[in-house]
Amino acid sequence: MKAIESYQSLAERAPARRKSPPASHFDITAYEVELLPLLRELEQSMLALPDPAAPLSAKLIQRLLKRYPRAGKGLFSRSQIIAGFRALSNVHPFEVSEREFLHRLRMRPVRSLSGVSPVTVFCKPFPCPGQCIFCPNDVRMPKSYLSDEPGAQRAEDNAFDPYLQTWGRLNVFRAIGHGTDKVELIVLGGTWTHYPESYRRWFIKRCFDAMNDFAAGLDERPSILAKNTFDNSGLPRSIDLKKTNYNAEVPAHRSSHEDCSWTELEKAHNENENSSARCVGLSVETRPDEISEDVLVELRRLGCTKIQLGLQSLDDEVLALNKRGHDVAAARKAAKLVRRYGFKLQAHWMPNLFGSDPEKDKQDFLRLFSDPAFYPDELKIYPCSLIENTELMQAYQDGRWQPYSTEVLCDVLVHVLTHTPRYCRLSRVVRDIPAGDIVTGNVQSNLREAAEAKARQLGKTLLDIRAREIRASSALGIDFHIKHSCYLLEEGTEYFIESLCGNDRVVGFIRIFMPNMACLEPEIANSVMIRELHVYGQAMALGQKQKHSGQHRGVGRTLLLEAEKLAKQAGYRTLSVISAVGTRPYYRRHDFHDGALYQHKML
């Protein structure tokens, strides 16, 4: 495969165009005359729909927008319509509730169909312990990320400040009609555990401050922006790897205020338990050789519930050729520790690495679910692409490495899709790298959909969780039923219990780990561990119910009872849960009591 014809080098290319966030505030009174009849027509269209769970069609919405333009010029955005509905409903009552209006008009509903609203934030650029030959070296970004990626752009625009990023994303969710009650906080950027401990503590605390302030109607952003001195504008887009490296060139960006005490963090945690923007999940990403028992204890104190672990390959020769800096033994040890401490394990795996080939990749993928140290709960599949200014460029130029053709890569992905078991979720299958940053390799953004279509043409059934979750389905009038799956691991036995409806559609599930040996952490030494409890359906406000949603219908309670029954039958005396900060009140209502790092129920 040759270099992509449309590719321009970093030196030639202009910076990527920034996308503006949707407007959440504008002068309602100036547009009331145009907005009110538009809102009335939208309302009547909603009332006329026969399906109580169906959204308005994009075609109908577009027709009404053209009928009622904004002051005769341009069209209203959906975020402006939502803001108008919220403001005008106080003086012009509507027959439909705000919840129903948002449900039928919501922009990008897929963002919260998993039951939570994901808020992704990035750490600042900082040295990385890895020397991977495929990893980008953009010194304006945390390691492995590119400045043209949308999430990285947002982070840079917010000076990588955790408060600004978190508050801003919550504001966007609300503006486009999504709930912000249940927030999954996803921390990306480099190797989390390699950042200074003081920075890690401060970063998470400021994310929680933003959630708490947003829920209370407070906004600290103006004061932060007034004193922020972060500036990446003078840094190059490319460095000469023959003369220097990322760690030598990345600016320290150290600041004396990037610290807080554990007491201050715990105070922010406690406030968040009763906030209307609660953190119901917190994930960070790191490397296998960074995992230790002390690190996992610290992650629990931070409120972390999921770890993204960069395995990349389970072949020692491939790992060495790509200068990963760890071997499979380190990956096995890390994965076992992550599970034993109750964390969800989201593994990263990369086909098409230097030294591999399609058949090796297929066999390597099978090891993820045959080696009893792994069995990941979630997977991100990142096919290797050639990025300018990486060490892999040399291997490409001298012919030692070539990217797979689209057809070959699609065949590997079909193998991945059809060999992922029902207890694993394929969160991502192709990394969202901007096509302009790829020198050569796959630039087909919908390759997952193409691979899924090919698998179905071959008569294959996809069993991973993402392929089976109910999402926006309204066929929830039928009864739910329970299905148990069990698999043996080196450290114990894992149970995956699903609540299903219809044709094997997942409404919710619970992961339970029964250890066969004591843990060094005394709080969970001999406990059965609930590692994850998740209910799907459109994310809903705390306490709300909706007939056609899987949320708040007793599914979680039923799954907890199943876990308790299994633990009792196995003879355990304690059932523990790795609860997020925002889910602690839920488990207390189900008779769990607080420990230092986990919550527990005596059996």
Mean pLDDT of the chain: 89
Summarize pLDDT for 535-593 with one digit per residue, the tens: 986 554 555 554 544 455 689 999 999 999 999 999 999 999 999 999 999 999 999 99
Summarize pLDDT for 53-75 with one digit per residue, the tens: 677 888 888 888 888 888 767 88
Query: At which residue do the structure tokens 């401490």 appear?
Result: 341
Q: How far apart are CA 585 and CA 603, in angstroms?
A: 19
Q: How far apart are CA 195 and CA 67, in angstroms?
A: 54
Summarize pLDDT for 212-261 with one digit per residue, the tens: 999 999 999 999 988 887 888 788 878 889 899 999 998 766 666 889 99
Local structure of 513: helix, strand or coil: strand
Q: How far apart are CA 10 and CA 168, in angstroms?
A: 29
Beta partners for residue 226, in sequence order: none
Token pair listed for 388: 């300018």
Q: How buried is residue 226: exposed, middle or buried, by Cβ count under 10 Å (0-12/13-18/19+)?
A: exposed
Token pair listed for 77: 């955005």
Q: How far apart are CA 558 and CA 571, in angstroms?
A: 20
Count the alpha carbons within 13 Å of 494 in the hemisphere toward its beta carbon: 27
Indicate whether 363 pLDDT > 80: yes
Q: How many residues does the chain have?
A: 603
Summarize pLDDT for 15-37 with one digit per residue, the tens: 666 665 555 456 777 788 888 88
Q: How far apart are CA 117 and CA 404, in angstroms?
A: 35
Q: What is the pLDDT of residue 237?
A: 77
Q: What percent of the chain has pLDDT over 90?
A: 65
Instruction: Please give the sequence-ordered ranges of beta strands (E in DSSP) within 443-566, or none if there are none.
Output: 481-489, 492-501, 505-515, 528-535
Q: What percent of the chain has pLDDT over 70?
A: 89
Percentages (nearest 5) of helix, strand, coil residues in the chain: 40, 15, 45
Kindly tell me the number of DSSP H helices and DSSP E strands found in the chain: 20, 16
When pLDDT is cut at 50, 70 and 90, the band that residue 487 belongs to is very high
Residues in CB range of 77: below 8 A, 6 or more apart: 22, 23
Ranges of H-type helices in 68-124:
78-88, 98-105
Token pair listed for 110: 């897929």
Q: What is the pLDDT of residue 219?
A: 96
When pLDDT is cut at 50, 70 and 90, the band that residue 194 belongs to is very high
- The arithmetic mean of pLDDT across residues 357-386, rounded, is 97
> What are the backbone angles phi and psi of residue 287, rounded to the nearest 5°?
-110, 155
Local structure of 45: helix, strand or coil: helix
Q: Using the Cα atoms of residue 98, residue 99, residue 100 and residue 103 in order, give the sign of their dihedral.
A: positive
Q: What is the pLDDT of residue 475?
A: 45
Token pair listed for 594: 């607080």
The answer to which of 195-209, 389-403, 462-476, 506-520 has the lowest mean pLDDT is: 462-476
Q: Which of 111-125, 215-229, 413-427, 515-529 has the highest mean pLDDT?
A: 413-427
2-5: long-range pairs with CB below 8 Å, 24+: 2/440, 3/439, 3/440, 4/435, 4/438, 4/439, 4/440, 4/443
Count the alpha carbons within 13 Å of 423 in the hemisphere toward its beta carbon: 23
Task: Name the DSSP class of 164.
Answer: H
When pLDDT is cut at 50, 70 and 90, the band that residue 112 belongs to is very low
Evaluate whether 347 touches 314 at the Cβ level (below 8 Å). Answer: no
The candidate with the shortest Cα–Cα distance to 567, out of 525, 532, 529, is: 529
CA angle 24, 27, 33 (to 5 degrees): 115
Evaluate whether 290 touches 251 at the Cβ level (below 8 Å). Answer: no
Evaluate whether 145 touches 138 at the Cβ level (below 8 Å). Answer: yes
pTM of the model: 0.90
Q: Which residue has the higher pLDDT, 240 or 486?
A: 486
Evaluate whether 28 touches 87 at the Cβ level (below 8 Å). Answer: yes
The candidate with the shortest Cα–Cα distance to 560, out of 538, 530, 588, 535, is: 530
Q: What is the pLDDT of residue 6?
A: 58
Evaluate whether 429 touches 451 at the Cβ level (below 8 Å). Answer: yes
